[in-house]
Amino acid sequence: MHTSVAIAALLTANCLLAPSSAQALVQIKTYEIAPRALDAVLYQFAEEAKLSISFSGLDLGETQSFGTSGNISKEASLRSILKDTGLSFRFITTSSVQIFKREQHTVKKTDVSELEVNYERPGYVEDLVVTATKRPETSFGLPASVSGVSSLVLEDLGSYDLQSLSAHLAGVSTTNLGPGRNKIFIRGLSDGPYADRTTTMVGVYLDDTPINFSDTNPDIRLFDVERVELMRGPQGTLYGAGSLGGLYRVISAKPVLNDTFGKARLGVGITKQGGHNGNIDVVFNTPLKTDKLGFRISGYGHMRGGYIDDIARGLENLNDLDIYGIRPSVRWQINNAWVLDTSINLQAIRYDDSQYYFEELGRNNRSLQLSEPYGDNFVHGAVTLKGKMGSLQLTSATSFVDRTLSETFDATEGLPFAERLKNLSEDEYLPGNLIEIGDGHDFLGNAQPGTLGYFTREDINTFGHETRLQSSGGSQFEWLAGFYYLHSTSDSDRLMLAATDGGAPGIILAEKRIERAEDIALFGEASYRVSKKFSVTAGIRYARNTIELDNTSKFVLAEKPQTHEKRKATTKLIPKIAARYQWSEDIQTYAQISMGYREGGFNILSPFEALARPDGISHQSDDFEPVELRSDELLNYEVGLKSYWFNRDLSLNFAAFYIRWLNIQSDQLGYSGLPYITTVGDARNLGFEIEFSARPVSGLEVSGSLFWNDSELQSGNPSLGAEPGDRLPAIPEPTISLAALYQFDVNSNWLATVSATYSFTGDSVLTFSEVNSARMGDYSIVNARLELSNTNWKVGLYAENLTDSRANTFSYGNPFTVSRNNQVTPPRPRTIGVYVERKF
């Protein structure tokens, strides 16, 4: 069914989308860019022409440009800008340009139409222009550990979500509950594997707006994106709370105002001892008014067959996963100086069941009384205005997020008070009608008497705005200053139900929690070029955070309901300083000190009777009044090297860090399996990361990364079994990745691509109690791909988990039985598939 629908959609797209002509480079537009420093001219032209221009590895120094003026094409404008500079340019794609020295590269004489369809990879190692620092700059030129991954590289790696991409980004790891449920960790900074009420460790942005606020990553599909940016280390100065580990940013592809085109991609596959897989991705772009108003829409549907079996219920391949999304966007070029972008992003994730099994029952087998589905509906809207006010540039971005999460857990086994529940009569359960929370309605008539189900639903609504003003690029002194506002509301409901002989379930526990947060901040950053080779950067952020909490819980074994209302407000001052020294056009070093923080919340042991141990001793205290948690704060010391070698055929980046982390907040599970927040203690982490990319021979690319860290608790919470010297959970000490790609001509029309990737994830522990924790990791994954392509078509064969690894990637799936240390989350078994792609 999935496959037939996908084929029909592909054929429909083929009929509806007319082939476009090669016009992008010859479109005429008015440019008025005055003569001045070349780098400043290139920055301005990149903005006005909507191009990504890379000139990394070149020391433009005091090189001057004649600028460009008049109604001319992009190509003619670049010739004017680079006149008498000794530099030339090459269009890699219609929206991406590389600047290089004439003596290093030669560009053959060709017509503009040939340049338009030239999607060959450059004959050197690329360096993307990134904007994660809120200013356009090549990743080479930033005094920070930054990775930029273009859409071309994403396709090469076969990575369409962060979990598959993270293996190839040094220092990035995730948990493995599945898309929409995973936590992101960067540089070995983990607050634990459980996700519930704490603020995120890593900021996730879509373009200029934040999209995650709780622990889990919404996992926006990486289709029809321009690039992905990753910044390692705390980004508190520019991005505020919730970016202790770093920043993960997805830059979506914007409407093109002068061309109509489209693309459709169809794939099918099969998983070993599992179900079938299918996917379809479609994008269409058209100008509504040439050079003034453009429309772009992309959509996707991904169906992954299950591979987990439940022997108690006689079900096979029960963990099917569907992901659907659509992203319409409009760009309005108001005039030469101002542009307005609007977009809506809709995504739905639906699991039929969870993806772990019980080790003692054999590979991919488990035994439960209840399905554990998960749902994630994500809606994001954004309006971004960018323009020039004289020599200054203004960016104003406004957004909203509406996200609804629901999940179910089988709580039949593991509850310490389960025996006491068996003695309850039906009229002793909590009064009230069954509230449909998550899949609670499926509990009616489907569960066997004695089955206990735990159902949660959370609605997250946010409104955010940021306005910033910055100087033009290329000057000796550059600065930016901005205002940030965010208001978020989290409304969560939790139910524990018991299936009874009478048909209507008994309500054991009901909890409602409403948390409102507000963040108001002023921030600024400035860079000063002390000399031709040496520059310093400093920044600061002033933030005021407010949290309001209303929490009510009812528990069948408690004497009365427990209600709490709390409010707190804090202010923070977050500084940053960095220095950069460029030894040559190809080598630079930097040093940085930066800070990050998360706003402290409230630890509510409610309902106390459900969280307490049978002997009456809770994890925290016999006093179950809410405890106000201090903000956790992090100080990062970092040095790094960025370099090119052998005429830019090899890039090699290295960074080393030392981190102090105070008052670590963490989601934890009580003795019963119910969640709460607590403070773990203090920790330090030190380590290094290496990334390289090379072109040893024509047509061959090799890239890789290495990450190593040594984390250690310096003070621990005894109630968690955490001791000084224990490592941080869910973090492997080493991770290694390698990727190789080879391209060659089959004939004058077709190009062949052969690629393979390898990743190794080291051993890690699940909890802060290293001695008593379940262990996981210590595995390798190999993927491979073969592709044939020409100007309009791609046809490919791929294999994922080629060696069919059976490792335990994550030792957690259900909070009520996790203490048995028998839960195994495997990588998806060997999956083989084919795909076809058509450009229009």
Per-residue pLDDT tens over the stretch 719-728? 889 999 999 9
Return the DSSP state at 564. Answer: E
Question: 685, 683, 684, 678: which is closest to 718 by C-alpha?
Answer: 678
Residue with tokens 């990727």: 739
pLDDT of residue 177: 94
| 411: phi then psi, degrees, rounded to nearest 5 | -105, 15
Q: Which stretch of DSSP H or E encloses residue 81?
A: helix 74-82
Pair of tokens at residue 784? 């491979």
What mean pLDDT comes out for the span 399-428? 86
Q: Please give the DSSP secondary-structure letter assigned to residue 717.
A: -
pLDDT band of 30, cuts 50, 70, 90: low
Residue 820 has a pLDDT of 85
Q: What percent of the chain has pLDDT over 70?
A: 87
Higher pLDDT, 60 or 226: 226
Amino acid symbol at 205: Y
Cα(36)–Cα(66) distance, integer angstroms: 7
Residue 617, pLDDT score = 46
102 — pLDDT class (breaks 50, 70, 90):
low
- Output the six-digit token pair for 648: 């830019």
- pLDDT score at 502: 66
Q: Is the distance from CB of 395 to CB of 347 less than 8 angstroms?
A: no
Q: What is the pLDDT of residues 807-840, one digit of tens each?
A: 999 999 999 999 888 999 999 999 999 999 999 8
Q: How confident is the model at residue 76 (pLDDT cuts 50, 70, 90)?
A: confident
pLDDT at residue 623, as a whole number: 46
Question: Is the N-terminal amide bond of 696 cis, ω within 30° of 0?
Answer: no
Residue 419's contacts (CB-CB under 8 Å, 6 or more residues apart) are none
Q: At what angle do helices 38-49 and 74-82 cross, to 10 degrees?
A: 170
Confidence of residue 398 (pLDDT cuts 50, 70, 90): very high
Average pLDDT over residues 761-790: 95
For range 30-56, the mean pLDDT: 78
pLDDT at 100 over 90: no
> Which range, 65-79, 87-101, 120-134, 185-199, is most confident?
185-199
- CA 318 to chain centroid, in Å, comes to 27
Dist CA 566 CA 568 (whole Å): 7
Radius of gyration of the chain (CA): 27
* Phi-psi label, residue 474: left if phi above 0, alpha if psi -120 to 50, beta otherwise: left
Pairing between strand 374-389 and 775-789?
A: unpaired
What's the rounded mean pLDDT across residues 296-319? 96
User: Residue 575: its pLDDT value, please?
Assistant: 96
Who has greater pLDDT, 319 or 628? Answer: 319
Alpha-helical segments (H) within 505-659: 608-611
The span from the CA of 573 to the CA of 359, in Å, is 48
3-class state of residue 551 by DSSP: strand
Answer for the pair 830, 805: CB distance below 8 angstroms, yes or no.
Answer: no
Of all helices (H) and strands (E), which one includes residue 261? Answer: strand 261-271
Buried b (16+ CB within 10 A) or exposed e, 619-652: bbeeebebbebebbbbebebebebbbeeebebbb
> Residue 658 — φ and ψ, nearest 5°?
-135, 130
Residues paired with residue 378 on neighbouring β-strands, in sequence order: 347, 403
Pairing relation of β-strands 365-366 and 309-310? parallel
Contact 628, 602 (CB under 8 A): yes
* Residue 315 C-alpha from the chain's centroid: 33
Which tokens in the block code for residue 120?
């060959």
Three-class SS state of 168: coil
Helices (H), 516-601: none
Q: Is the predicted pLDDT of residue 123 greater than 50, yes or no?
A: no
At residue 506, the pLDDT reads: 82
Residue 800 has pLDDT above 60, yes or no: yes
Contact by Cβ (8 Å): 762, 193: no
If we measure between CA atoms, which residue out of 169, 152, 22, 37 comes closest to residue 96?
A: 152
CA angle 320, 672, 661 (to 5 degrees): 85
**In this structure, which amino acid lies at residue 563?**
T
pLDDT of 260 strictly over 80: yes
Task: List CB contacts of 559: < 8 A, sequence separation 6 or more.
Answer: none
Average pLDDT over residues 413-442: 70
The pLDDT score that the predictor gives to residue 430 is 77
Which residues touch 708 (CB under 8 Å, ≥6 apart)? 687, 688, 689, 733, 734
Asked if residue 442 has pLDDT above 70, the reply is no
Query: Which range, 89-93, 411-415, 501-505, has the best average confidence (pLDDT)?
Result: 411-415
Single pTM value for the model: 0.85
Residue 253 pLDDT exceeds 70: yes
**For residue 112, what pLDDT band results from cuts at 50, 70 and 90?**
very low
Q: Evaluate if residue 622 carries a pLDDT over 90.
A: no
pLDDT of 429 above 90: no
Residue 790, number of CB atoms within 10 A of its CB: 15
Sign of CA dihedral 641, 690, 764, 233: positive
Sign of the four-CA dihedral 633, 639, 642, 645:
negative
Q: In angstroms, how far is the first alpha carbon of the chain from the final one?
A: 26
Residue 312 tokens, joined: 């108690």
CA distance 428 to 436: 21
- Going by C-alpha positions, the residue among 750, 744, 811, 752 that lies closest to residue 778 is 811
Burial of 79 (C-beta count, 10 Å sphere; 0-12/13-18/19+): middle
- C-alpha–C-alpha distance, residues 333 and 330, integer Å: 10
pLDDT at 793 over 90: yes
- Three-state secondary-structure class, residue 793: strand
Task: Report the C-alpha gap between 93 and 107 in whole angstroms.
Answer: 15
> What residues contact residue 29 under an 8 Å CB cut-off, 6+ apart?
48, 49, 71, 72, 73, 74, 291
Say what the pLDDT of residue 438 is. 53
Contacts of residue 109, Cβ cutoff 8 Å, sequence gap at least 6 = none
d(CA 413, CA 451): 9
How high is the pLDDT of residue 606?
A: 66
Which residue shows structure tokens 């008014």?
289
Q: What are φ and ψ of residue 139, in 5° steps?
A: -60, -30
List, for residues 639-665, the tens digit of each pLDDT value.
999 999 998 899 999 999 999 999 999
- On whether the CB atoms of residues 550 and 513 are closer than 8 A, the answer is yes
How many angstroms separate the CA atoms of 204 and 640, rounded? Answer: 24
The stretch 768-791 carries a mean pLDDT of 94
pLDDT at 638: 97
User: Residue 118: what pLDDT?
Assistant: 34
534-546 tens-digit pLDDT: 999 999 999 999 9
pLDDT-based confidence at residue 95 (cuts at 50, 70, 90): low
Residues of the chain above pLDDT 90, percent: 60
Pick from 116, 36, 130, 128: nearest CA to 73: 116
State pLDDT tens for residues 740-766. Answer: 999 999 998 999 999 999 999 999 999
Please name the residues in contact with 81: beta carbons below 8 A apart, sequence gap of 6 or more.
33, 38, 41, 42, 45, 65, 66, 67, 68
